[in-house]
């Protein structure tokens, strides 16, 4: 018995079943009003023949799908097309259909996609202008193009047809989807990310979401051409990667985080060993020495799961120079932060967040999800120590994807993570549906600028528009590892607060806050609250006497402490200087500028002239 005869005999009832599955409006000849991408046959049809197209396609698809295993044995593409064309011709003759040559060839292409590719999705996946494909059940398919979502004139036969395509996607990866495990993450051969979810979790039928990635990874030039950032911004980020700063890329869904991380990773030198860790491998690094690790879901018995956390711990034993985690979603954030703090400088990762501050809050939450009872202060100190730069990307209302913030994380203080924007996007107009604006320097010089020099990197003229170092302005202390080997550190610069200013008015002397600064060195004295209080009062005495007053004439004092718990030690020293009737006064907490200067205490007074 010939192939065509076997197909016809085995699937005699399939065509009738498929015809019943054709929506009533199509059988009645009502055209489906759907713009955008269409199947090859839909594109070839003469207007008004949509109902005929639906019926022919349903019958032919059912027979071809039924003969799928037999057709799979054919390795020659030309022979496969010949066999499929024979099946189509038989159905056309059998049912008396009338097709043009162009329509017949397009129908053959449709069925070839069904047998060798991903069925109705194949033309969408081949269209390079489409960045996302969303299947909401068999009859509702949407795409994203240039950041905008549109519905397309592509359909599946039924839910079972969608399930069959899902199985074809995940089968080569050894993954499964069924009622006991109704969701799955996977990837296509070209690296595109796939998520599928079925009943009973989905109430609209099987749902497929495909995030497409370019067959050839995007380069810096591509992103500059797209308007994601300027050449100068990417050069700055290249310096950050070469200087081994730890970078997080944050942004909302579809903001281009993974694409951007891929480009950022291209700056890593060829002679470094890179370990990438992902749920579904998406990154396409071009360096030679790259180890790609992919998490594994549990098997049918619920065992055998390998999580990103497991892979991160294993990666630390693989002698990595850099670790790249595709995305932190849960407790693996703790392991990532630990890796950044224990020798894997220059590591990269991404996370979902609306702003850079939200990214930091999410990191706190994800670390707590690791299951350890860690104080919030300890978590924030570790995040501040590990993360150096957060690059925030966003999809703007015109669909464009841009870098909107580059933020430095330069330390922690009193349960707060200290950050400052280095570059920020400023929108200047919205014309013809397009957002107009630029990513501009904020006028703040990051504390890590010195690390470029110690890394042997020569900054270009203008230093990316970042203002030059100005000794007259307060500078941030920065992180300890940035100062290793550096000759120009914040510790060597004069402290610009806490010197106190005396103003005489109405027979009184008003002296603003005096800090624990050693006049001989211009630096904060070493020691704790006791030593700093002693230095403050020494400075206070000298300032008052210089203004024509003295400690004995103090009538009111205001002392500010870094920690309220240190009041007893402060008060002990205070009473040594005021053994009798101490002046009245009140205590407050130190302002931020004094904390950053390293003060534990400052004192201001009002005294008689």
**At the topology level of CATH, where does 120-215 sit?**
Beta-Lactamase (3.30.450)
Whole-angstrom distance, CA of residue 406 vs CA of residue 386: 16
Same fold flag, 120-215 and 220-465: no
Q: Are strands 247-251 and 389-395 parallel, antiparallel or unpaired?
A: parallel
Whether the CB-CB separation of 185 and 174 falls below 8 Å is answered with no
Contacts of 188 (CB under 8 A, 6+ apart): 118, 125, 169, 194, 210
Whole-angstrom distance, CA of residue 295 vs CA of residue 376: 29
Q: What are the residue ranges spanned by the domains of the chain?
A: 1-116, 120-215, 220-465, 502-608
494-506 pLDDT per residue, tens: 677 889 999 999 8
Contacts of 6 (CB under 8 A, 6+ apart): 67, 70
Strand partners for 394: 402
For residues 118, 282, 249 and 412, what is the CA-based torsion angle, rounded to 10 degrees? Answer: 130
Please determine, for residue 254, whether its predicted confidence score (pLDDT) is greater than 80. yes
Predicted local confidence at residue 146, as pLDDT: 82
360-382 pLDDT per residue, tens: 999 999 999 988 888 988 999 99
**At the topology level of CATH, where does 502-608 sit?**
60s Ribosomal Protein L30; Chain: A; (3.30.1330)
Whole-angstrom distance, CA of residue 241 vs CA of residue 239: 5
Query: Which of the four pLDDT bands, split at 50, 70 and 90, describes residue 459?
Result: confident
Whether the CB-CB separation of 335 and 313 falls below 8 Å is answered with yes
Whole-angstrom distance, CA of residue 573 vs CA of residue 252: 53
Whole-angstrom distance, CA of residue 275 vs CA of residue 281: 12
Q: Which pTM value belongs to this model?
A: 0.68
Whole-angstrom distance, CA of residue 503 vs CA of residue 289: 66
110-137 pLDDT per residue, tens: 777 777 778 889 889 988 889 899 999 9
Neighbours of 205 (CB within 10 A): 19
Whether the CB-CB separation of 554 and 607 falls below 8 Å is answered with yes
533-557 pLDDT per residue, tens: 999 999 999 999 999 999 999 999 9
The first and second tokens of residue 375, run together, are 């104080």
Q: Which CATH class is domain 220-465?
A: alpha beta
Give the lowest-confidence range in 99-103, 131-135, 201-205, 526-530: 99-103
């Amino acid at each position: 018995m010939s192939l065509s005869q076997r197909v016809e005999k085995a699937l005699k009832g399939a065509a009738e079943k498929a015809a019943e599955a054709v929506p009533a409006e199509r059988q009645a000849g009502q055209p489906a009003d759907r713009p955008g991408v269409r199947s090859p046959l839909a594109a070839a049809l003469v207007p008004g023949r949509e109902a005929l197209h639906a019926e022919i396609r349903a019958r032919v698809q059912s027979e071809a799908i039924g003969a799928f295993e037999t057709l799979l044995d054919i390795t020659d593409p030309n022979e496969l097309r010949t066999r499929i064309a024979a099946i189509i011709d038989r159905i056309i003759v059998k049912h008396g259909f009338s097709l043009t040559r162009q329509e017949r060839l397009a129908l053959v292409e449709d069925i070839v996609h069904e047998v060798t590719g991903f069925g109705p999705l194949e033309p969408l996946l081949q269209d390079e202008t489409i960045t996302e494909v969303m299947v909401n059940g068999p009859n509702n398919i949407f795409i994203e193009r240039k950041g905008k979502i549109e519905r397309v004139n592509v359909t599946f036969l039924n839910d079972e047809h969608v399930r069959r395509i899902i199985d074809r996607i995940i089968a080569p990866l050894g993954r499964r989807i069924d009622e006991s495990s109704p969701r799955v993450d996977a990837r296509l051969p070209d690296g595109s990310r796939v998520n599928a979810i079925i009943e009973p979790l989905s109430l609209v039928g099987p749902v497929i979401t495909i995030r497409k990635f370019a067959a050839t990874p995007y380069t810096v030039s591509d992103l500059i051409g797209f308007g994601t950032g300027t050449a100068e911004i990417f050069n700055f980020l290249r310096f950050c990667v070469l200087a081994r700063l730890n970078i997080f890329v944050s942004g909302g869904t579809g903001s281009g985080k993974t694409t951007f991380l891929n480009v950022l990773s291209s700056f890593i030198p060829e002679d470094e060993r890179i370990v990438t860790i992902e749920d579904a491998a998406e990154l396409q690094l071009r360096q030679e020495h790259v180890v790609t690790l992919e998490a594994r879901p549990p098997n049918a018995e619920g065992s055998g799961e390998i999580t990103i956390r497991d892979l991160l711990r294993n990666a630390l034993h693989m002698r990595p120079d850099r670790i790249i985690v595709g995305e932190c979603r849960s407790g693996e954030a703790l392991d990532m932060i630990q890796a950044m703090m224990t020798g894997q400088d220059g590591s990269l990762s991404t996370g979902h967040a609306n702003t850079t501050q939200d990214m930091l809050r999410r990191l706190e939450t994800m670390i707590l999800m690791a299951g350890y009872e860690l104080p919030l202060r300890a978590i924030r100190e570790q995040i501040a120590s590990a993360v150096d730069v957060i690059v925030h990307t966003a999809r703007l209302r015109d669909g464009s994807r841009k870098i909107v913030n580059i933020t430095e994380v330069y330390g922690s203080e009193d349960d707060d993570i200290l950050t400052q924007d280095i570059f920020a996007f400023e929108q200047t107009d919205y014309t013809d549906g397009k957002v107009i604006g630029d990513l501009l320097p904020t006028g703040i010089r990051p504390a890590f600028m010195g690390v470029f020099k110690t890394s042997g990197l020569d900054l270009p003229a203008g230093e990316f528009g970042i203002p030059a170092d100005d000794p007259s302005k307060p500078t941030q202390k920065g992180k300890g590892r940035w100062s290793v080997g550096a000759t120009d550190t914040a510790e060597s610069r004069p402290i610009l607060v806490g010197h106190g200013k005396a103003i005489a008015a109405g027979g009184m002397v008003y002296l603003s806050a005096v800090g624990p600064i050693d006049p001989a060195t211009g630096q904060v004295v070493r020691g704790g609250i006791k030593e700093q209080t002693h230095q403050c009062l020494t400075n206070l005495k000298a300032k008052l006497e210089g203004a024509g007053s003295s400690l004995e004439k103090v009538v009111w004092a205001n002392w500010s402490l870094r920690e309220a718990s240190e009041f007893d030690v402060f008060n002990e020293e205070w009473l040594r200087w005021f053994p009798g009737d101490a002046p009245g006064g009140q205590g407050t907490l130190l302002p931020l500028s004094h904390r950053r200067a390293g003060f534990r205490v400052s004192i201001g007074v009002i005294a008689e002239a």
